[in-house]
Structure 1
Amino acid sequence: MSLPSQFKEENYENILIYHYVEELVSDFSNYSIENFSDDDITLTELPFLLRIRFVDKSTQKDLVRLFNVSDGYTAKLLRRFEDKGFITRHEDPENRRRKIVRLTDKGCKKTDEILDYINTWEELRRANLSDDEFKTLKKLLFKLLSDD
C-alpha cells in the first residue's frame, strides 16, 4: 500500500484517524475491484449480507438506519437476497409488523466465501505486523469504537 506523501513515520501521531481509515477503505476498494468477482452479490451489497450474518435480530429498519439508505432500496435488496436463497424473513414475535432477517445455510456459505476474501486482504495488510501488534491493533480499534 503506497501512502500519500503527507504520511510520514515522523508525523504519524499528527495524522487524523479519519485519514488512516480513509486509506484502508480505499485500499480495500482497490483490492476488491481487482480481485472480487461474484455473480450473486456486488461489492455494494456485501456489507448488508455480512451485517445480517453477525447481528442476532436484524430487521429491514435496522439496515436502513445503519447504512443510511432508503426503505425502498433495502426492501429491493432483501428481496434479491431472498430470491437468491441467502435470507429468510420471519415475523418478530415481539412486534408482528417487523420482519427479522436471517441467513439461510446458502447465505452462510456465501458469507463464508466473502469472509475468506476479506481475510486474504487483511493478511496482506497485516504483513508488517507481528501477531502481538495485530492483536493490539484490534484491541485498540475495539476500544476506540466502544461506548465504555
Structure 2
Amino acid sequence: MGLEDEENVPTIPFISTIHRKYGIFLNHNMKDYNLSFGQYPILIRLYDEGPSTQQNLAKIFQLNESTITRALNKLEEKEYIEKHPDYENKRKNYVKVTPKGAKIAKEVMDYDEQWDKICSENLSEKEFEEFKTTLKKIYSTIVKREEK
C-alpha cells in the first residue's frame, strides 16, 4: 500500500518522494559525466542563460551562497565552468560555462524533458499543464512568503 492509497495525506510526502526519485534518476543518468544532482541545474542554467554571478545563482535556485560556491567549485574542478572576478567588485565572481561544460550540457540537458514524460505518463497534456501552473503558483507563494 502506497501513499496514493491513503486518505488525508499532506502534500509534502508526495513532493518529497518525487524530488528524491528525480535525484536518483538524474544521478543514475549522469554518473558517466561525473555530474551530480546538485550540479546539473547550475550547469544547464549557465549553458542556457549565459554567464551569471554566484549571488544571482543562489537567488535563482533559492540556495545559500555557500551551497552554490561548493557546487561551482566542483564544476570548476571538472573544468565545466570558469570563474572570473568582477573588476569593479572583487567580492563578486562571474561564472560561465567552458567549451567542455557546454559539450556536457548539450548531452545531458534533455533529462528534465525525459523526467516530465515519466511524470506525465498517466496525465493528459492539459492535466500536466494545469499541474505545472498550480506548482508555479505554490512556488511563488512560498518564495514570496520567505522574502517577507
Question: Structure 2-normalised TM-score?
Answer: 0.68
* Root-mean-square deviation over aligned CA pairs: 3.3
**Residue matched to 2:101:** 107
Q: Is the 8 A contact 1:60 1:101 kept in 2?
A: yes
For this pair of structures, how many residues does the alignment match? 140
Aligned counterparts of 1:34 and 1:56: Cα–Cα separation in 2: 27
1:131 positional shift: 1.0
Aligned partner of residue 96 in structure 2, secondary structure: strand
Question: Do 2:39 and 2:72's aligned partners in 1 also have CA atoms closer than 8 Å?
Answer: no
How far apart, CA to CA, are the structure 2 residues paired with 1:26 and 1:83? Answer: 26
> Are residue 116 (structure 1) and residue 110 (structure 2) matched?
yes
SS at the partner of 1:38? helix
Residue 8 (str. 1) matches residue 5 (str. 2): yes
1:95 paired with 2:89, answer yes
Corresponding letter in the other structure for 1:88: E
- 2:28, 2:34 → 1: CA distance? 17
Give me the whole-angstrom Cα distance separating, in 1, the residues matched to 2:16 and 2:64: 18
Identity between Structure 1 and Structure 2 (%): 29
One-letter amino acid matched to 1:123: K
Residue in 2 that maps onto 1:136:
130
Query: Are 2:47 and 1:74 equivalent residues in the alignment?
Result: no
Cα drift, residue 61 of structure 1 = 4.6
Gaps of 5+ in 1: none
Runs of 5+ consecutive residues of structure 2 not aligned to the other structure: none
Specify whether residues 96 and 69 from structure 1 end up closer, same or farther in structure 2 by C-alpha distance, changes over 3 A only: closer
* Higher fraction of helix: 2
SS of the equivalent of 1:67 reads: coil
AA in 2 matched with 1:101: V
- 1:20 is displaced (CA, Å) by 1.8
TM-score of the two chains, using structure 1 as the length reference:
0.68
- Amino acid of the structure 2 residue aligned with 1:67: L
Is the CA contact (8 Å cut-off) linking 1:63 and 1:74 kept in structure 2? no
Shift of 1:135: 1.1
